[in-house]
Structure 1
Amino acid sequence: MIRVRDDDDIRTVTLDRPDSRNALRPDDLDELRVAVADAETPVTYLRGAGSAFCAGADLDAVAALDDPSEFARRGQRTASALADADTVVVCGIDGAARGGGVEMALASDVRVATPDATFGEPGVSFGLFGAWGGTVRLPRVMREGDALEFALSGRVLDAEEARQAGLVSRVVDDPRAVATEIASGKPAALRTIKRRMRDRREDGTQERAEAAAFADLVATHREEIAASRGD
């Protein structure tokens, strides 16, 4: 289900069940978590095979669960792995992102859509909601009122609506090009920027950590910094 390919500075992780629109089963979540957590490349590019990004949880698997809360926890662990990994996760959404697919995108660091991308949280129509961290991350990414309306209504957003709502940062024909652009940065700086912006501690603690990380980067790249003054 999960395919991994490393090319230079980018690991490509592909959700590869196109016949089911890349719906995620419990084992798929574990594979995705390992694929991202084990990445040694500065950037990981997450994509879906076929005409959809990800339809979310495999509902046949959900219906057969003895312990639905464990499935939720597995999804939460996978989403947290995307958010916490040293590698910068760029999510390229082409086609439909639904439910858990939206949640995996939310956990990524950068979300980029093609013009054909669409986003929806349809769980409310059959009595569910996004339990892979979606209720936590969605109002951080979108304004709280917009996030509530999006989740409560089950309405589908097109790519431009998603960009205007802050759900994606860009709408482009080739999302991988954004991953390549980001991968051109210095790996240590990429890791540090991600860690600092992901830090949820109180402001004073974050600022002290930010200053220390800045000093470390200056020490590492002092000669290049000096050489760039004339640019």
Structure 2
Amino acid sequence: MIRTTDADELRTVTLDRPDRRNALRPADLDELETAVTETDASIVFLRGAGDAFCAGADLDALAELSDPASFARRGQRVADAIETADPVVVAGIDGAARGGGVELALACDLRVATPAATFAEPGVRFGLFGAWGGTIRLRRVLREGDAFDFALSGSVVDAEEALRIGLVSRVVSDPRTVVAALASNKLDALRTIKKRLRDRRGRDEREAAEAIAFERLMKRYAGEIAAEWGGRDRTDGDG
């Protein structure tokens, strides 16, 4: 179900169950957590095989569970693992993202859609809701009114509407181009920025950590920084 390929500092993680629109069973969630967290890559690109990103939880598997709450907690753990993983995680959403698929995308650091992408939390229509941290992350990512509208309506949102409300940050023909552009940057800087943006401690602690991280990178790249900026006209608008 979970397929990985590695190239330099990039790991591509593919949800590979296209006949079920990449719906996830409990064991699939465990595989996904391992694929995202147990890697030395600086960037993880999460995608779905076929014509969907992820349909969320496999409802057939869910119906067989004696303890649905444990499945919810497992999904929460995996979403948390994606959010806090060392690599920068980019969701490339081409086709349908539904329910838990939306929640996994919300846990990623960057969500890039193609024009064919669509999003919905359809569980409300048959008495469920996004319990893999979805009610928490929707409020972080979207404005409150948009979060309520998306979660309560169950309506399908296309890529352009997802961009408008902030559910995705870009709509491009091929999300891999965005990943390639990220990979052209200093990879340890990417990891550092993710940690700083994800840091939810108090302001004083965050600012102290920010200063230390800045110093570390400055010392590491002092020569390159001097070469890049030393000969530039300080009035050229680039810094």
Give the structure-2-normalised TM-score: 0.95
Letter in 2 for 1:66: S
Shift, 1:81, TM fit: 1.1
Moved over 4 A (4+): none
Matched, 1:90 2:90: yes
Instruction: For 1:182-221, list aligned pairs within 5 A.
Output: 182-221=182-221
The residue number in structure 2 matching 1:72 is: 72
- 1:157-216 CA distance string (max 9 Å, x none): 000000000010110000011111111111210110000000111222111111111011
Task: Describe the SS at the equivalent of 1:97.
Answer: strand
Q: Paired residues, what number?
A: 231
- 1:119-170 CA distance string (max 9 Å, x none): 0000101111111010110111110110011000101100000000001011
Letter in 2 for 1:185: N
How many angstroms apart in 2 are the aligned matches of 1:225 and 1:85? Answer: 28
How many angstroms apart in 1 are the aligned matches of 2:21 and 2:207? Answer: 42
Task: Describe the SS at the equivalent of 2:178.
Answer: helix
Q: Which runs of 5+ in 2 are unaligned?
A: 233-239
- 1:69-104 CA distance string (max 9 Å, x none): 110111011111111111100100000000000001
Matched, 1:104 2:87: no
How many angstroms apart in 1 are the aligned matches of 2:173 and 2:40? Answer: 27
How many angstroms apart in 1 are the aligned matches of 2:52 and 2:141? Answer: 22
Letter in 1 for 2:105: A
The residue number in structure 1 matching 2:40 is: 40
Instruction: For 1:55-204, list aligned pairs within 5 A.
Output: 55-204=55-204
How many angstroms apart in 2 are the aligned matches of 1:226 and 1:164? Answer: 39
Task: Describe the SS at the equivalent of 2:5.
Answer: strand
Letter in 1 for 2:70: E
The residue number in structure 1 matching 2:236 is: none
Letter in 2 for 1:3: R
Task: Describe the SS at the equivalent of 1:61.
Answer: helix
The residue number in structure 2 matching 1:20 is: 20
Letter in 2 for 1:179: V
How many angstroms apart in 2 are the aligned matches of 1:20 and 1:116? Answer: 18
Contact 1:120 1:157 in 2 (8 A): yes
Letter in 1 for 2:51: S
Q: Which runs of 5+ in 1 are unaligned?
A: none
Shift, 1:9, TM fit: 2.0
Contact 1:97 1:118 in 2 (8 A): yes
Letter in 2 for 1:194: K
Letter in 1 for 2:91: C
Give the structure-1-normalised TM-score: 0.98
How many angstroms apart in 1 are the aligned matches of 2:70 and 2:34? Answer: 18
How many angstroms apart in 1 are the aligned matches of 2:217 and 2:132? Answer: 34
